[in-house]
Amino acid sequence: MTATMQSKTEAADAPRRGRRNPGPGRKVRSRGGSLQFGHWWWALPGIALVIAIHYVATGIGGYFAFTNWTGIGSFKVVGLANFEAIFKDPTKLGALLNTLFLAFSSVFISNVAGLFIALGLNRVIKTRYVLRTLFFMPVVLSPLATAYIWKYIFDFDGPINVFLASIGAGDLAKPWLADPQWAIWTVLIVLVWGSTGFAMVIFMAGLAGVPVEIEEAAAIDGANMWQRFWNVTLPAIRPAVAIASTLGIVQGLRVFDPIMALTGGGPAGATETLATQVYKQAFALGNFGGGAALALVLAVIILFFAVIQQRLTRSNPED
Amino acid sequence: MTQHRFRGLKLGVLVIPTAAALALTGCSGATNAGSAGGSKEFSLTFATSNTIESPFQKLGEQYMAAHPDVKITFNAQPNDSYDQTVRTQLQAGNASDVIVTSPGSGTGRSILPLVDANFLEPLDDSAKKLVPVGSEALFGKDGKVYGQAAEMTVVGLVTNETAAKASGVSDFPSDFSSLEKQCSSLNSSGKSFFALAGSAAPNTGLMAMSLAASRVYAEDPKWNEKRVGKQTTFADSQGWKDALQAVVKLNEAGCFQKGAAGAGFDAITKGLASGSSLAGFIPAPSWKQLKTAAADSDFAVRALPSEKSSDKGFVYASANYSFSINAASKNKDAAKAFLDWAAEPEQTKAFAEIDGALPVSGLDSYDYASGAYKNVGDLIKDGKYGPLPNSQWPNSAVYDALATGVQGLLTGQKSVDQVLQAMDAAWG
């Protein structure tokens, strides 16, 4: 009976397989006039749209990086002038440093925090489902809306300064988002708060694939908790680490809306990133060519770090 | 049967988009026909930044009431993205027929760059007559005018007179040192002389320009022209150095509310309406909106005190908003008829009253004594006023460098010289 069922399944699957080894019955079915799903040209509208929207539009945007277009009217091709201006401008270099600082710091902190939360909520705690939801909630909420709530929290008349005043530490109260030293850290706090839940979910998915038996075997062999984590759990979730850190870096490098809502890049450029500079140059200051050049630089940086990250965390085939 | 059904499906796959395309074509054809035939219709785009009905919309509604056969479609746009929206729509060819623009070249909605891109239609004599004396170069090129001034906007200080009296400031400071003293005494009572939106570039920039009024433009109203001719620079200008140094002095004297460097525009509204701050660097028509928020308080428009009381007084007063017609408009006749109507003295007066501004025509006979403008009436009558400096600057990056730099002065991140050099670099 099992053999019969198996052969029926194979017969049903046969037309969906590749054309290299056609089964004896399939020719008849394909030439018999019945409907075939999966003609390659069915994808043409989708392919055309993807090419037009993603690649042609991006290519045209990249072309403007080599022009002096203001967003309206005519323009001239200016070669690499926009790129020279970027690397000579201390504001842009500051924005580049801020971008890298925010991306790598937020990825590191949110991944470490996400991993510990995932480990803590993996099996033991009874309320883990509620806690998972609570930790994941910042990912679901609108970054822009939550950034405005954070802005209120960090406001000079906001809860933090009210709390400081209530415990007699009113001297420490400051406009956190307009303080040159603190502004970038407040932005980092908001970014980490928003991305930790995402890392947690990826790590929880990775931890679900770690066999309990191996951990138990390690425990029986005398491995302590740290040794079990370092030698058993962490190697097993290396793909999850790769995914979480790669996505985190890409997300961190192009972060835009929380910064615009919190500080607008201020005070005096202290929290400016490449993404906020792209917006300001292209859309606020009418320097579309310069904005496109910055966007191209940002894209190259994201690509560079994404590739590096993938290579560093690539699983060993021997594993 | 299955094959029939799938053939029907295949047919449907082809028929539905075809029908949809035909339907869309039909719709668009009908719309075009309608707009071409109905030349009494036109659209109007303007910026809004609050829930109060825009004076531009009120004017349009009055026009429709006076002309029942006319239909105006109002396209209100958020103020913070207005420039980009208008530019994108003009570039795409789907902008409104009438667009609210700004004279000069300093912002994204400014007339001159839009004229260079051939997006605006030249206007007729009724618009030419409304161009304020001395501002001709801001409204067009080669003898043609592309914007019709809507009102005269004074930019200086808006003060809560009731709160000032309650705080013991019966005499408004006449020079900078007495202003600093007032700041200190108010600061000790938990109030501030000025409410500043230190994180909002438009406000910090406006403050710096207000400080430059008596220090730069009172002495040399043609300073911008000299900067265009490269006869001077911001960094070499003692007046501009003094203006930015005054920002530092005001900050050190405690003239701004606590946490001013990180405050937004809401701090100005709250501060002035509640009376915890006495004055704000905001366009004069805001007095009317503040009055709606604090009906018990009286608000007035004033010029910022000069360095010394003997210095020349100066205030910015210019047509900061103008009506322009989209060169690609299909309803130019209807749009021009509206502009001709809006240029009539009754309408310029009515528009100014709606917005709390000064009328663009008939300023000589304007009764300053009884309104919010009584403190700046003499300056305007004596001709001691000029357009906002940034309307004559070549791009918006110069103003951005000033506004961002002032925030840096407040936080101690930048020096006066650094800010002025950044402005020169942005000038190009």
Residue B170, exposed/middle/buried by CB under 10 A (0-12, 13-18, 19+)? exposed
Mean pLDDT for chain B overall: 86
Average pLDDT of span B240-247: 96
Question: Which amino acid would we find at residue B242?
Answer: D
Q: For A269, which residue in chain B has the nearest alpha carbon?
A: B404
Q: Is residue A64 part of a domain?
A: no
Give the 3-state secondary structure of residue B78.
Answer: strand
Number of structural domains (chain A) is 1
> How big is chain A, counted in residues?
319
Q: Which of A238, A146, A243 is nearest to A192 (CA)?
A: A146
Please give the pLDDT value at position B61.
95
B211 lies in the same domain as B137: no
For the segment B189-198, what is each residue's pLDDT rounded down to a tens digit?
A: 889 999 999 9
Element spanning A312, H or E: helix A288-312
Q: For B117, which residue in chain A has the nearest alpha carbon?
A: A73
Q: Is residue B17 part of a domain?
A: no
What are the beta bridge partners of residue B149?
Answer: B322
Element spanning A207, H or E: helix A183-208
Q: How confident is the model at residue B32 (pLDDT cuts 50, 70, 90)?
A: very low
Number of structural domains (chain B) is 2
For the segment B304-346, what is each residue's pLDDT rounded down to a tens digit?
A: 988 877 677 889 998 989 999 999 999 999 999 999 999 999 9
Sheet with strand B71-78: strands edge to edge: B71-78, B41-48, B98-101, B322-325, B148-149
pLDDT above 70: percentage of residues in chain B:
90
Mutual angle of helices A238-253 and A90-120, in 10-degree steps: 150
Question: Is A285 close to B396, i.e. CB distance below 8 A?
Answer: yes
Q: Which of B361, B390, B416 is the last residue of a domain?
A: B361
The nearest CA of chain A is from the CA of B160 a distance in Å of 22
**Structural domain boundaries, residue B298:** 154-318+371-427
Structure tokens at B8: 């029907």
Name the pTM for this structure. 0.81
Q: Is residue A106 part of a domain?
A: yes
B67 lies in the same domain as B177: no
For the segment A249-270, what is each residue's pLDDT rounded down to a tens digit?
A: 888 888 899 999 999 898 999 9
Q: Is residue A28 part of a domain?
A: no
**Structural domain boundaries, residue A99:** 90-284+291-312
Question: Which amino acid would we find at residue B424?
Answer: D
Q: Hey, is the C-beta of B199 within 8 angstroms of any chain A C-beta?
A: yes
Q: Is residue A150 part of a domain?
A: yes
Interface size between A and B, measured as CB pairs under 8 A: 100
Q: Is residue A36 part of a domain?
A: no
Residues of B in contact with A155 (CB under 8 A): 259, 262
Q: Which of B319, B318, B320, B321 is nearest to B383 (CA)?
A: B318
Assign residue B63 the CATH number of its domain. Answer: 3.40.190.10
First to last CA, chain A: 39
Q: Hey, is the C-beta of B185 within 8 angstroms of any chain A C-beta?
A: no
Best A285, A287, A288 residue to mutate vs chain B (most B CBs within 10 Å): A285
B108 lies in the same domain as B192: no
Residues of A in contact with B424 (CB under 8 A): none
Please give the pLDDT value at position A33.
55
Question: Which amino acid would we find at residue B131?
Answer: V
Out of B90, B259, B397, closest to residue A72 by CB: B90
Residues of B in contact with A179 (CB under 8 A): 261-262, 411
Q: Which of B129, B138, B135 is nearest to B361 (CA)?
A: B129
Please state, in angstroms and rounded to a whole number, the distance separating the CA atoms of residues B130 and B147.
9
Q: How confident is the model at residue B103 (pLDDT cuts 50, 70, 90)?
A: very high
Out of A178, A270, A286, closest to residue B396 by CB: A286
Q: Is residue A19 part of a domain?
A: no
Please give the pLDDT value at position B186.
92
Q: Which of B307, B327, B361 is the last residue of a domain?
A: B361
Assign residue A304 the CATH number of its domain. Answer: 1.10.3720.10
B375 lies in the same domain as B281: yes
B91 lies in the same domain as B62: yes
Cα angle vertex B388, ends B387, B394, to 5°? 105
The ipTM of this complex is: 0.77
Please state, in angstroms and rounded to a whole number, the distance separating the CA atoms of residues A27 and A23.
7
Q: How confident is the model at residue B171 (pLDDT cuts 50, 70, 90)?
A: confident
Please enumerate in sequence order all residues whose Cβ is within 8 A of that of A148, keeping only pairs 6 or more positions apart, or say none.
A261
Of the ranges A6-10, A88-92, B182-186, B244-248, the best mean pLDDT one: B244-248
Please state, in angstroms and rounded to a whole number, the distance separating the CA atoms of residues B380 and B303.
11
Question: Is B259 close to A70, i.e. CB distance below 8 A?
Answer: no
